[in-house]
Amino acid sequence: MTVTLYVPRDAAALSVGAEEVAQAITHAAATHGEQISVVRNGSRGLLWLEPLIEVATPAGRIAYGSVAPEDVPGLFAAGFLRGGAHARLLGPTEEIPYLKRQERLTFARVGITDPISTADYEAHGGWRGLRNALALSGADIVEAVIQSGLRGRGGAAFPAGIKWRTVLNTTGTIKYVVCNADEGDSGTFSDRMIMEGDPFVLIEGMTISALAVGAEQGYVYLRSEYPDAERVFEAAIAAAHQAGYLGDDILGSGRTFHLELRRGAGAYICGEETAMLESLEGKRGMVRFKPPLPAIEGLFGKPTVINNVITFASVPIILDKGAKYYADYGMGRSRGTLPFQLAGNIKHGGLVEKAFGITLRELLYDYGGGSASGRPIRAVQVGGPLGAYLPESQFDTPLDYEAFAAIGGMVGHGGVVVFDDTVDMAQMARYAMEFCAIESCGKCTPCRIGSTRGVEVIDRVRQGERREANIELLRDLCETMLHGSLCALGGMTPFPVRSALDHFPEDFGVPGKAAKAA
């Protein structure tokens, strides 16, 4: 009997030896005369356990991790093809608490299916949203997305359905759907995991968006540092074309949608939607003035839907199970789920999809298991490099767009980067300014020049030079950047800087609570 094994081909798993493990298993199976079929799946998101391999047994899938090539002979000797006991045995995959307690809507299939098999996708509920959408008018699709409460997952949390309605109602024979897969935020990897682990859900979501607004061409703008995602996604586009889910006659409906992948230019600012459009048009990634909104004059001057990977990937389930099903998850105006990404100094780093409303503390301790170093967690940056640094006193804040805004933070793309009590927050404030100086597109003065001056002022503070006066100057500069910058790179860099000053003043040499480790 052929035994099916799952060895992830996700970049995180590959980085810790999944390819070598797959080869060792294939070699050992041949030696032992065992018939096996190895599926290269996406990662389950328990990244500290990668390479996490699974064996399909009559009792369900059994997980082993972290597996090294040297473990393979012992695994065969222990009868792991039948779920045998071994030091690396984790038990039934779905029973692992980190996974069992999640609410996976967007990531429902990641790690479960063969990422580039359209049939496997269909067998696990795929394409149902698209089939439903084909029977609806554009306005009805838009209405379903509005009713679901889905907001953009790339950072700004703008309601996706409202954006789609603008594109739908803008006259024009040519419209575009563009997916922002630049994923530049620190500590984030959910876009990559979708593209490597369940690319069809993104293809399906973009196709539904195209049907809604009347677009026939779409582009995915992919972070240049994601070669594995590029390979998997290109294969998925080809398979979807082949099977009739993309092309000139989607599932015999007479509707057309073509999708192409474009590799990004490797700059953080190219994730900003208008700079991304410039880059897609073959120009240098510079931010455009708004208005006009991209929904009215976007790619090549045409009405364009721009959404993040996770936004599009959340659409199929809405069209499949209904807007209410999705909206029943979450709290307040933050409906549905968000795939949070735990990174930095955290014991159990990985992906946790939960409904909005879970607190930061629950994520950090119930899922993350505390810091990797075993030391107290002192600060957490949520929402990428422009997010505020949050102190322990704010860890009970529920992850909700409004609750985070109320404490000066942002949920953004759901990245959570953890620091223990050895962190120097003045150094982190300097890093935020330096990041802005390096990544600035240069179009406006507060960002281009302000960030460089900001680094210098922080250096003076750290050296003890006219400390009080320089801190005042730094706060003034933050105010100018906040109000005078054209886009959120310059406009939000003050958030990490000011939060470091507000919550960790002792690190700048001014009186405050002495929380930092000696």
Ligand X SMILES: Cc1cc2nc3c(=O)[nH]c(=O)nc-3n(C[C@H](O)[C@H](O)[C@H](O)COP(=O)(O)O)c2cc1C
Say if CB 64 and CB 89 are below 8 A apart: yes
Determine which residue in the list 158, 290, 396, 476 makes contact with ligand X, applying CB under 6 A: 158
Q: Is residue 202 a contact point for ligand SF4 (CB under 6 A)?
A: no
Query: In this structure, which amino acid lies at residue 290?
Result: K
Asked if 132 interacts with ligand SF4 (CB under 6 A), we say: no
Question: Is there binding between residue 152 and ligand X (CB under 6 A)?
Answer: yes
Could you say which residues in the range 273-312 bind ligand X, by CB under 6 A?
273, 306-308, 311
Q: What is the smallest separation between the CB atom of 446 and ligand SF4, expressed in angstroms?
A: 7
Select the residue interacting with ligand X from 68, 119, 139, 156 (CB under 6 A).
156
Q: Cβ 317 to ligand X, closest distance in Å?
A: 16
Which residue, 383, 414, 374, 318, is CA-closest to 45? 414
Tracing tokens 């290109």 back to the chain, one arrives at: 234
Q: Which of 58, 299, 281 is nearest to 176 (CA)?
A: 299
Could you tell me the two tokens for 313?
Answer: 């990937």
Distance between CA atoms of residues 412 and 343, nearest Å: 15
**Binding residues for ligand SF4, how many (CB under 6 A)?**
14
Residue type, 163: K
> Which option in ligand X, ligand SF4, none does residue 7 bind, with CB closer than 5 to 8 A by kind?
none
444 binds, among ligand SF4, ligand X, none (CB under 5 to 8 A by kind): ligand SF4
> Is residue 215 a contact point for ligand SF4 (CB under 6 A)?
no
Q: Alpha-carbon distance 49 to 52, whole Å? A: 6
CA dist 355 → 38, 105, 358 (Å):
33, 9, 7
Smallest CA-to-CA distance from 166 within 65, 12, 297, 22 is with: 297
Stretch that binds ligand X, among 93-101, 176-184, 397-405, 425-433 (CB under 6 A): 176-184
Q: Does 276 sit near ligand SF4 (CB under 6 A)?
A: no
Query: Which DSSP letter does residue 358 get?
Result: B
Among 287, 317, 360, 497, binds ligand SF4 (CB under 6 A): 287
What is the three-state SS of 317-335?
Answer: HHHHHCHHHHHCCEECCEE
Q: Is residue 516 at the binding interface for ligand SF4, with CB under 6 A as the rule?
A: no
> Any contact of residue 263 with ligand SF4 (CB under 6 A)?
no
Least spacing, CB of residue 191 vs ligand SF4, in Å = 21
126 binds, among ligand SF4, ligand X, none (CB under 5 to 8 A by kind): none
- Helix spans in 149-198 (H): 160-169, 190-197
Of the pair 65, 154, the CB lying nearest ligand X is at: 154
Element containing residue 122 per DSSP (H, E): helix 118-123
Q: Which is nearer to ligand X, 120 or 228 (CB)?
A: 228
Q: Is 359 exposed, middle or buried (CB count within 10 Å of its CB: 0-12, 13-18, 19+)?
A: middle
> In whole angstroms, how close is the CB of 492 to ligand SF4 at the nearest point?
9
Q: Are strands 330-331 and 334-335 parallel, antiparallel or unpaired?
A: antiparallel
In the beta sheet, which residues pair with residue 412? none
Verify binding: residue 182, ligand X, rule CB under 6 A: yes
Instruction: Enumerate residues 464-493 that contact ligand X by CB under 6 A.
Output: 487-489
Q: Is residue 444 within the footprint of ligand SF4 (CB under 6 A)?
A: yes
Place of tokens 């939607």: 273
Which residues touch 239 (CB under 8 Å, ≥6 apart)? Answer: 116, 117, 118
Stretch that binds ligand X, among 103-111, 271-279, 321-329, 468-476 (CB under 6 A): 271-279
Of positions 443, 460, 475, 516, contacts ligand SF4 by CB under 6 A: 443
Residue 265 found at the interface with ligand SF4 (CB under 6 A): no
Closest approach, Cβ 261 to ligand SF4, in A, equals: 25
Q: Is 489 in the site for ligand SF4 (CB under 6 A)?
A: yes
The residue within the footprint of ligand SF4, chosen from 440, 457, 494, 503 (CB under 6 A), is 440
Q: Kindly give, in sequence order, each residue whose CB lies less than 8 Å from that of residue 415, ignoring residues fewer than 6 positions away.
A: 185, 186, 187, 188, 340, 341, 343, 381, 382, 383, 384, 387
- Shortest reach from residue 436's CB to ligand SF4, in Å: 7
CB of 447 to ligand SF4, least distance (A): 3
* DSSP secondary structure, 448-504, as one string: HTHHHHHHHHHHHHHTTSSHHHHHHHHHHHHHHHHHH-SSHHHHHTHHHHHHHHHH-
Q: Which is nearer to ligand SF4, 86 or 443 (CB)?
A: 443
- For residues 448 and 460, which CB has a smaller minimum distance to ligand SF4 in the complex? 448
Instruction: Report the residue from 266, 301, 442, 464 that binds ligand SF4 according to the rule CB under 6 A.
Output: 442
SS3 295: coil
| Backbone angles phi and psi of 471, in degrees to 5 | -65, -40
The correct pick among 43, 180, 304, 337 for binding ligand X (CB under 6 A) is: 180
Q: Does 485 bind ligand SF4 (CB under 6 A)?
A: yes
- d(C-alpha 383, C-alpha 210), whole Å: 28
Interface with ligand X (CB under 6 A): 152-156, 158, 180, 182-184, 268-269, 271-273, 306-308, 311, 487-489
Interface with ligand SF4 (CB under 6 A): 269, 287, 440-444, 447-448, 485-487, 489-490
